[in-house]
Amino acid sequence: MRRVTLTLAVVGLFAATALAEDLTDPPWDQSEPWPQTYSLWDFPFLLQAQPQGATVPSPMEASDFLTTNFATSDWPYIEWPEGQKEVEDPTNPGTFITVYFEAEVDLVEYTDPDGTVHPDTPTVHISITDGNGDPLDGTPLAGTTVPVSIWIPNSPAPNLVKRIFWQMTSDKSPTPTGDPPTTVPAGTTDPSHSGSIQHSGPGTWYTYSGLNEISPNPDGEWLTFELVDSTNIEEIVIKTICMPEPATLALLGAGGLAMVIARRRRVR
């Protein structure tokens, strides 16, 4: 079944290119030989058969693009939030309120980066409510977040630097603070590669992007976005690479040069 899924995903790479809005490239050369992955969740494409208000499947595998250049039996997937948790009432410290959350399909007016408006676009809608079923948006609990976590496999080779370049198109920031998402195991973030692209036309759609780095690379990691109530997500793109550190690359280059010189001397 996995093979069928992968085949369909690769076909989708060509069939659904017009739907995909992968707007930014990672800060590395994608033609490099190091182990890499590329996955894209295009929610209008995935959810077009889902009725409005339907619960989003969990886990959900990547859609249009799903590629790696190393052997693996594991593929990226998303764990959507569903359940309840206790949060402290900001107006009454020491008192806790139970909130309920889920991810569901919602139809919204979405604006392409070129300004084209799509009135009924299926998106993943993050809903957080209080005990009465009322949304938290616009209340003192509006900063409450729930996690959307993505599992990403890595190259089995150890002692490499893992770089994760992520991109999310949504109507709210991937985290309330505007910082990039977190990783488990913990990674360091290079803020010079994070930012956002505002879509033209009506609406408040943005494409956010950023870079996380983990060294040495684990077998795989969770990339977690903390999203607030009423967040609509149109697309998520994850690009990764596992590569030697710059010092190791320099040694590899020096070693390669030494082999060339030695071979030339033998020829002479």
At 241-251, the pLDDT tens digits run: 999 976 444 43
Lowest mean pLDDT among 24-33, 69-78, 243-252: 243-252
Instruction: Report which of 18, 110, 146, 1 is spatially closest to residue 61, judged by C-alpha positions.
Output: 1
Instruction: Report which of 134, 148, 149 is spatially closest to residue 97, judged by C-alpha positions.
Output: 134
Percentage of the chain exceeding pLDDT 70 = 81
Cβ atoms 149, 183 nearer than 8 A: no
Question: Counting Cβ atoms within 10 Å, is residue 181 exposed (0-12), middle (13-18) or buried (19+)?
Answer: buried
**pTM for this model (two decimals):** 0.82
254: number of Cβ within 10 Å: 10
Cβ atoms 118, 112 nearer than 8 A: yes
Q: CA triplet 54, 118, 116: central angle to 5 degrees?
A: 150
Cβ atoms 102, 115 nearer than 8 A: no
- Is the pLDDT higher at 57 or at 86? 86
Instruction: Report which of 227, 211, 232 is spatially closest to residue 56, judged by C-alpha positions.
Output: 232
pLDDT of 35 over the 90 cut: yes
Most confident region among 113-122, 177-186, 187-196, 199-208 by mean pLDDT: 113-122
Taking each continuous run of H as one helix and of E as one strand, the counts in the chain are 3, 15
Segments making up each domain of the chain, as ranges: 2-267
Residues 84, 153, 27, 31: is their CA dihedral positive or negative? negative
Which residues are CB-contacts of 141 (< 8 A; sequence separation ≥ 6)? 87, 89, 90, 97, 99, 130
Q: Could you report the per-residue pLDDT of 96-125, keeping only the tens digit for each?
A: 999 999 999 999 999 888 888 999 999 999
Amino acid making up residue 90? P
- Is the pLDDT higher at 184 or at 200? 184
Q: Could you report the per-residue pLDDT of 128-178, keeping only the tens digit for each?
A: 999 888 888 788 898 899 999 999 999 888 889 999 999 999 999 888 777
Instruction: Report which of 232, 233, 242, 236 is spatially closest to residue 212, judged by C-alpha positions.
Output: 242
Instruction: Report which of 239, 189, 190, 243 is spatially closest to residue 216, judged by C-alpha positions.
Output: 243
CA distance 182 to 246: 24
Which residues are CB-contacts of 177 (< 8 A; sequence separation ≥ 6)? none
